[in-house]
Amino acid sequence: MIEGRDFICFCNDWEGDPLSKQQIITRLARANRVLWINSTGTRNPTVSVYDAKRAWKKIRKFLKGCRKVAENISVFSPLVIPFHGNPLAQRINRRLLAWGVRRECRKLGFEDPITLSFVPTSAAIAGSLGESAVIYYCVDEYSEFTGTDKAAMLEMERRLMKRSDLVIVSASRLYETKHPHNANTHLITHGVDVDHFRKACLDATPLPENRPIGSGPTIGFFGLIGDWVDLALIGQLASARPSWNFVLIGDLVSDGSAVKKLPNVHLLGRLPYASLPGYCKTFDVAILPFVLNELTLAANPLKLREYVAAGLPVVATPLPEVRKLERYVRLATTGSEYLNHIEQILSEGETGPRMYRSRWMESQSWDAKVEELSGHIANIGQARASAAQATAAHATGAPQVA
């Protein structure tokens, strides 16, 4: 793995669930120093209690200053104006962000840092911080999120890709849309924390005390419950099988009317990451019911690998990245297809966590993915030389040397 470097990382909020960004950064931090920049937002705010609370939370984080949260990891929460399509807001944000990040880098004694950005909004300052390299790590089609200024997000992302030395994507669909903007684009699919989720297969792992208890089987889901999760389909399944328990773990940030009034649907809210294996131990079957749209077609759902690492049988919507794991999951689009697959799993008696299923994910560890990333970072110099050669050859009309 790459060692002894300083990384400036534009990410989501550190306090959020440990998504792919945190899995990658915590491993890089074993041998490198990291300045984690909390989210600068990707959507325009609305006049709502939720957004007001979020704004106040960001102000409080900013006032606390940069803080050390783990060995070699410091977190900085910048203040920005969250109207990314507004030219005036863009100019103000560029100055505020650059001033704040440079100040923190000086305090930490960073030298020749590498900017590793997971968000297009970093385009305002990426490449102007004295970096030795800029990397864009794209894990979502950000312009397709609800509430996002699509045109502004696409413009920022293209600027970021243009000045990046390396672009990493987590899904084939993302490779198709990003590679035309940067020839040095590479696919690294998500990994999984196998050891953590495998605890669901162990007798020593305790069952959670507040788990819903019913006489029927438990169908489980965990993850942020946004408008990409097909709650109407879950409501259809729960209504069709009132004796089954549907346990949904995660913050509900979309319209939950399709499931809230159903007595066999249990919305547990966001729970600690450490507790997830215990809840997986209570699941008979895990489901991944996503709607099909431009956002999800480019997604690589992290929870799919986590389900399998927990040893669970899975029924999932056939997104392109889900199809790549087709040998480990059952694919379903309609409510009847979901019901048929779940009933077949129940009738076969292969419910709940099984160690043999968990072993399928051993080659998908996050450690292996970070090693792959490190290899691409090490090759940045070679990629720059190749790009310069291609540019010179194009300018002179000379043939390129393979």
Tell me: pLDDT of 387 over 60: yes
31 alpha-carbon distance from chain centroid: 23
- What is the rounded average pLDDT of the residues 241-245? 97
How do residues 63-115 score in pLDDT, each as one tens digit? 567 999 999 999 999 877 665 566 777 777 788 888 999 999 999 999 999 99
Q: Give the type of residue at 348.
A: E
User: Burial, 155: exposed, middle or buried (Cβ in 10 Å; 0-12, 13-18, 19+)?
Assistant: middle
- Provide the 8-state DSSP code for 179: G
Spelled out in words, what is the top-level CATH class assigned to the domain 194-361? alpha beta
How do residues 258-283 score in pLDDT, each as one tens digit? 999 999 999 999 999 999 999 999 99
Q: For the chain, give every domain's residue range.
A: 6-191+368-393, 194-361
Q: Could you check whether 6-191+368-393 and 194-361 share the same CATH topology?
A: yes
State the pLDDT confidence band at 286, using cuts at 50, 70 and 90. very high
What's the CA gap between 259 and 232, in Å, rounded? 7
State the pLDDT confidence band at 48, using cuts at 50, 70 and 90. low
User: Burial, 354: exposed, middle or buried (Cβ in 10 Å; 0-12, 13-18, 19+)?
Assistant: middle
CATH topology of domain 6-191+368-393: Rossmann fold (3.40.50)
Residue of 11, 88, 17 whose CA lies nearest to 42: 11
3-state secondary structure of 268: strand
pLDDT confidence of residue 18: 85
How do residues 24-46 score in pLDDT, each as one tens digit? 999 999 999 999 999 875 555 55
β-strand pairing of 73-76 with 67-70: antiparallel
**Cα-Cα-Cα-Cα dihedral sign, residues 15, 19, 21, 22:** positive
How do residues 148-186 score in pLDDT, each as one tens digit? 999 999 999 999 999 999 999 999 999 999 999 999 999
**Cα-Cα-Cα-Cα dihedral sign, residues 38, 44, 45, 50:** negative
pLDDT confidence of residue 402: 42
DSSP H stretches of helix in 68-218 = 87-108, 150-163, 172-178, 194-197
Q: What is the pTM of this model?
A: 0.89
Mean pLDDT of the chain: 90
